[in-house]
Amino acid sequence: MVDVGRWRLGVYGDKAKPVAAAEDIVKLHEENSGKSVLMLHGYAGYPGEFYSLIPLFFERGYDVFIPRLPGMGTSGDDFRSSEENDWLGLARNVLKTLEEEYSDIVLVSHSMGTFLSVLLSSNEKVSMQFLIAPAFSTSFGIGDEELEKLGTEDYERSIPWKSDDSYHLSYPGAPRDDEVLGREYWSHFYASDALAFTRLKKMALDVLESVTIPTYVYHGLKDETAPPDGLVETFSKVKGRVRIKIFDEGTHLLMYDRCRDVEKELIASIASVLDGRPAL
């Protein structure tokens, strides 16, 4: 049995309680098939965003693990207090517990979570990775030197945010918890976290050329958060097999996109890979 209590050893301990949509998700079969999937959410994200993908893996015999990254899904104070070593530290802790119980581990990640996936992909039990809306092109609109200065000064400011019910969230109680997180930190810019994001991105870029496992990349042409600019060039560094699929109507949130056909196509494409059929 995977010891989830070890997941948060040595990383930032949140002071506030996570909203329901941000709680760790663990879905197990009665018998261990030896297969597991680890899903890693993005910057300011939460586990519930992957809800539509859980049946896809569980019905194929995978035990499902979706941890909440430190500082996310709770409060603005927690978000400001966490940084890249906490996010990566938790991801590594989870992977370590999985490799003790499973012979095959698949990684699925979204946005900033794709940085974590790339950094974990060298584990010998990781067989493949699915990178959804990788955020290598994301910019906070601030130069590196200025961001470094603002980040060390803990600069913050309010930013526009409002809920958008055109997205099809599928976690229980949606979109109630989005409203809470919107008030807590989506309506704020924290330079320290933006700087941590940037440092983590650099760490991932530095190891891309060492990635050897099959890597499946999904991106939306209408993604304004992480435009697909330079996507092919970025992943040309990967030594292993890479397949890239662009959804013409897709935004940054492909797992529950405005266009329901995008979500269906994403699920169908991942399923084709898992079932050994021609993909992408």
pLDDT in tens, 222-231: 999 999 999 9
Supply the range of the domain harboring residue 114: 4-274
> Is residue 278 scored above 70 in pLDDT?
no
Answer yes or no: are the C-beta atoms of 211 and 109 closer than 8 Å.
no
Say what the pLDDT of residue 277 is.
80
Say what the pLDDT of residue 158 is.
96
Split at pLDDT 50, 70, 90, the class of 279 is: low
Say what the pLDDT of residue 280 is.
65
Residue 279 located in a structural domain? no
The Cβ of residue 222 has, within 10 Å, a number of other Cβ atoms equal to 17
CATH number of the domain to which 72 belongs? 3.40.50.1820
The position carrying tokens 């930032």 is 12
Residue 101 located in a structural domain? yes
Number of domains in the chain: 1
Say what the pLDDT of residue 1 is.
83
Residue 77 located in a structural domain? yes
Residue 203 located in a structural domain? yes
Per-residue pLDDT of 19-32, as tens digits, reads 999 999 999 999 99
Q: For the chain, what is the mean pLDDT?
A: 96
Say what the pLDDT of residue 2 is.
87
Sign, Cα dihedral of 107, 87, 182, 114 = negative
Residue 139 located in a structural domain? yes
Lowest mean pLDDT among 115-119, 154-158, 274-278: 274-278
Split at pLDDT 50, 70, 90, the class of 60 is: very high
Answer yes or no: are the C-beta atoms of 119 and 203 closer than 8 Å.
yes
Say what the pLDDT of residue 68 is.
98
Kindly tell me the number of DSSP H helices and DSSP E strands found in the chain.
9, 9
Q: Which residue has the higher pLDDT, 113 or 278?
A: 113
Residue 159 located in a structural domain? yes
Using CA atoms, how far apart are residues 273 and 280, in angstroms rounded to an integer? 8
